[in-house]
């Protein structure tokens, strides 16, 4: 592969959960037998995870919470990675649909057992072994209802694969921007925002903080009930410790989502994630992409275009998604726009904490936030909205149009 990290290599940090095991399954890979696979159940105390000292690759891959699959097992699970099993592709590589037995985690015939999503690394892909290992490191230890579940991995020869729970509704990006899908109603948008906020709050409030660093619509996956889960932890970073306010690192991320101070200086903090959340919240409100080169002038950058309207109740309707046809509560929409504006502050210290953002959004979701819908004269035909496809790829920032390992996809990353 050329970019493999040696067995003694260290990654940023490893997270260990203090919760007890909730489920067990037999781990098998080839001829070797493994102890039962235990996935800790989430409890509110799970937010007090401890970041251990950096671990070696061997220590990371020996986690009891993920199964080491053989390449042949995943070939069988995905029907030899057949084209009709392909769910999509991104910077990481290809994503395939597969089936495994729920108890033994061994391959089963299509249509039986548990559905999984298998990401297969492209040897020439923008993401390499280090990011693959980082994802195993974090998702192998962190467990929360709003983080996608990592079931296992494969590291065999030059092959690098990751095995996830299957997310039937795919990515938020597809539901907001892909033609042909039913527009998300207001209540669903707020539900998704709250789920994503819970995931980020969990990471930020851990005893040893985790900075996600790649928060965007394409990395928010949706289950059958439209519960949001964060995916793709290849860029995750351990937060600052002691009296430090930030960590300095190579700038990686996605144009339009990355916080301005991080892009300018490489100084990363949890408030960088808060800025990115503000961008996604703005996408949920407006139905527009963070960056859209098909538009002209200031409208190419969503934040630059929308910011002047966010604090004005009378003008807010001008940036609201026309596909909702005015069917949203004005008071709740203004509250959501106001918190988005705070998240998008150019000064990191002025942005709220994710726990504060979550609390406000939960108030917005309550019946008290649901007043009347937008006036009829503020409803614009959805036909006027311009939706355009976009191709993404990841590289150091060097800001890219996408840093995701899953989308942007020919098809949804984890969609039927």
Of the candidates 12, 214, 232, 292, the residue annotated as catalytic is 214
Asked if residue 93 lies in contact with residue 129, where contact means CB atoms within 8 angstroms, the answer is no
Asked if residue 336 lies in contact with residue 361, where contact means CB atoms within 8 angstroms, the answer is yes
- Residue 36, both tokens: 């039962």
Where would I find the H helices in 184-253?
186-204
Give the rounded distance of the alpha carbon of 280 from its chain centre. Answer: 11
The answer to whether the annotation marks 120 as part of a ligand binding site is yes
Q: Is residue 12 flagged as an active site residue?
A: no
Give 159-162 contacts, CB < 8 A, sequence gap 24+. Answer: 159/71, 159/120, 159/121, 160/1, 160/120, 160/121, 160/129, 160/132, 161/69, 161/71, 161/74, 161/118, 161/119, 161/120, 161/121, 162/118, 162/119, 162/132, 162/135, 162/136
Maximal C-alpha separation, the chain: 68
Write phi, then psi, for 313 (nearest 5 degrees).
-60, -35
**How far apart are the C-alpha atoms of 394 and 100, rounded to whole Å?**
30
Bind-site residues for ATP = 120
Enumerate the active-site residues: 214
Bind-site residues = 120
């Amino acid at each position: 592969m050329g970019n493999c990290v040696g067995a003694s290599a260290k990654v940023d940090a490893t997270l260990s959960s203090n919760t007890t095991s909730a489920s067990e399954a037999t781990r098998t890979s080839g001829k070797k037998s493994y102890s039962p696979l235990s996935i800790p159940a989430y409890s509110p105390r799970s937010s007090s995870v401890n970041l251990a000292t950096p671990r070696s690759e061997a220590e990371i891959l020996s986690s009891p919470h993920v199964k080491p699959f053989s390449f042949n097992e995943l070939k069988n699970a995905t029907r030899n990675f057949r084209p009709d099993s392909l769910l999509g592709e991104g910077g990481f590589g290809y994503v395939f649909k597969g089936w495994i037995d729920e108890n033994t985690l061994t391959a089963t015939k299509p249509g039986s057992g548990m559905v999984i999503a298998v990401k297969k690394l492209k040897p020439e892909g923008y993401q390499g072994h280090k990011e693959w290992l980082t994802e195993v490191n974090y998702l192998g230890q962190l467990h929360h209802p709003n983080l996608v579940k990592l079931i296992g991995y494969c590291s065999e020869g030059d092959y690098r694969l990751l095995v996830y729970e299957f997310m039937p509704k795919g990515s938020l990006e597809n539901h907001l921007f892909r033609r042909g899908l039913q527009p998300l109603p207001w209540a669903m948008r707020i539900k998704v925002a709250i789920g994503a906020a819970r995931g980020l709050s969990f990471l930020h409030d851990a005893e040893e903080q985790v900075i996600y660093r790649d928060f965007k619509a394409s990395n928010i996956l949706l289950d059958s009930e439209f519960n949001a889960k964060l995916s793709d932890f290849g860029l995750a970073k351990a937060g600052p410790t002691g009296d430090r306010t930030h960590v300095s690192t190579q700038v990686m991320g996605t144009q339009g989502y990355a916080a301005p101070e991080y892009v300018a200086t490489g100084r990363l903090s949890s408030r960088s994630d808060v800025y990115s959340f503000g961008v996604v919240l703005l996408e949920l409100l407006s139905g527009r992409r963070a960056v859209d080169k098909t538009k002209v002038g200031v409208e190419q950058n969503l934040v630059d275009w929308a910011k002047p309207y966010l604090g004005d109740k009378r003008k807010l309707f001008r940036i609201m998604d026309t596909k909702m046809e005015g069917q949203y509560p004005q008071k709740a929409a203004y509250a959501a726009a106001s918190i988005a504006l705070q998240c998008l502050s150019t000064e990191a210290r002025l942005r709220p904490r994710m726990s504060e953002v979550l609390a406000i959004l939960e108030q917005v979701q309550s019946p008290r936030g649901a007043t009347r819908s937008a006036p009829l004269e503020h409803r614009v035909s959805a036909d006027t909205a311009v939706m355009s496809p976009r191709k993404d790829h990841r590289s150091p920032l060097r800001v890219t149009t996408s840093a995701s390992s899953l989308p942007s996809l020919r098809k949804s990353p984890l969609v039927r």
